[in-house]
Amino acid sequence: VEAHICDQLILPLSLANGVSEFSVQRVSAHLETHAWLVEKFGLAKVALDRSDSGTGLVRIIPAGCSP
């Protein structure tokens, strides 16, 4: 997913009925902030795995959903 849109996917995917996972061009500060905020509201657990090149993998596990 393109770096400027990936942070916008965090909220809707945190409300989904299942686990979501996607790769990103770049793990940005905006993405990290959105992930932190969704977790603070208790909507989902968000894992951000960053590679050495800056690309990353995002895994979103909505509250009440098992991985």
SS3 65: coil
30 catalytic residue (yes or no): yes
Is residue 9 within 8 Å of 56, Cβ to Cβ? no
Selecting among 26, 30, 45, 50, the annotated active-site residue is: 30
Q: Is the dihedral of CA 56, 57, 60, 66 positive or negative?
A: negative
The residues annotated as belonging to the active site are 30
